[in-house]
Amino acid sequence: MIKKIPFLFLIVVLVAFTNPPKKSKLQAKVESLAEQVEAKTIEWRHHLHQNPELSNREFKTAEYIAAHLKSLGLEVQTNVAKTGVVAILKGGKPGPVVALRADIDGLPVPERVDLPWKSTAIGKYNGNEVPVMHACGHDTHIAILMGTAEVLTTIKSELKGTVKFIFQPAEEGAPKGEEGGAKLMVKEGVLKNPDVEAIFGLHISSGTHVGKINYKPGGTMASSNSFEITIHGKQAHGSRPWSSIDPIVTAAQIINNAQTIVSRNMPLTKEAAVVTFGSVHGGVRSNIIPEEVKLVGTIRALDNDMRDKIFERLTTIAIKTGESNGATVEIVIHEGYPITFNDVDLTAKMLPTLQSVVGADNVNLIPAVTGAEDFSFFQREVPGFYFFLGGTPVNVKPEDAPSHHTPDFYVEDDALVIGIKAMSRMVVDYSM
């Protein structure tokens, strides 16, 4: 059950807005160091953008990351969850173990943005050659965490505790038939030895101006579960539909009936929920009623009880609608990603840090997002805080910014130094 946001959180927010604390010498030093590595970070980002790789195939990306981390003298482990990289920095003073995470995979999307560092890379997806692009900004995430590693290594003697830098593959989903991503990293023990106390992550955001940071305590991004519904009927000539058990008509009724799940069964004043049918496959020509139709879709929820209710209602509707038409229906709901849940206490603790980095007026509390993130697997194990970093140029209207996962996706280099400051400060401030 998702916790409600306590009144104490609101008090912390109010105090942070009215009484911004003065930066300590170490906090100021961290931000100065971030500015000093900005130029290198931009070069790293451009290289990574030009050389994207698909999920579980990030071989050269991992080598590039590992080479930098080793140059800093960190303890580096490669081939984690297939192509992941993990580095450990031990500070000069006792303190907690904090993890920072960046995802590293690209997408099978052709790039249309005219850049000197435009991607022309080709990869293989589902057995087909496809163009590959960092169409969700994971190149910026990698560069920010590489820069953060350099900043925190520089202040190693003044640092309290230990930092785990987690460069995670396959956030966009492992290839069919493979394991991958945060779930596999957790399974392999990435949060253990030493045991992580808290984890932080960020996502660059198209549609949010550079210099802005968005956040939400509690349920922040939705759980995501794909489903498949297979309808078995009886084939017949299209001129004699009475001789059939029509899976196409049954499919239409299932799709229509399922629309009542959110509109009539979900307490939408509590949280949002989504049931979407993304594809319908069945039939080969106009005069044949087919034997089988397959429906594929996605379920999104921001509350675990609501998610479970959707599973139950969709299953009942699909099977009973099929029975009413004489058809047999099979439904499979895949595990997917959990809710990305920002620990309420941790969010309240770190909010002043974000406000200190970019100014309180530039840190915005936002509604939940129905997209999904496998950072949620880390958050199931330890308290985590995940926020959104503005990436859209200030002269572009947010509504005109190209969407993530599209050929025109673009975010500014100017966001990188802000990301480094935020991530570095979170480590320093958490242990203060």
The residues that are catalytic are 105, 171
Whether the upstream peptide bond of residue 194 has omega within 30° of 0, thus cis, is yes
Residue in the structure block whose two tokens are 């590959």: 132
**Are the beta carbons of 63 and 170 closer than 8 angstroms?**
no
Distances (CA, A) of 335 to 280, 312, 382, 411: 21, 14, 20, 32
Beta bridge partners of 237: 288
How far is 12 from 346, CA to CA, in rounded Å?
A: 11
Q: Tokens for 18, please give them.
A: 């009215």
98 neighbors 162 (Cβ within 8 angstroms)? yes
The beta-carbon contacts of 365-368 under 8 Å, at least 24 apart in sequence, are 365/13, 365/214, 365/215, 365/216, 366/214, 366/215, 366/216, 367/216, 368/216, 368/219, 368/220, 368/221, 368/222, 368/271, 368/272, 368/302
Element (H, E) at 248: helix 247-265
Q: What is the dihedral of CA 170, 271, 379, 184, to 10 degrees?
A: -30
Amino acid at 322: G
DSSP summary character for residue 243: G
Phi, psi of 194 (to 5 degrees): -85, 155
- Contact by Cβ (8 Å): 34, 417: yes
Tokens coding 137: 């900004």
Paired with 330 in beta bridges are 230
Angle made by CA atoms 263, 172, 330, in degrees to the nearest 5: 50
Taking residue 117's Cβ as centre, other Cβ atoms within 10 Å add up to 16
The whole-angstrom separation of Cα 145 and Cα 165 is 7
Residues 6+ apart with CB under 8 A from 29: 155
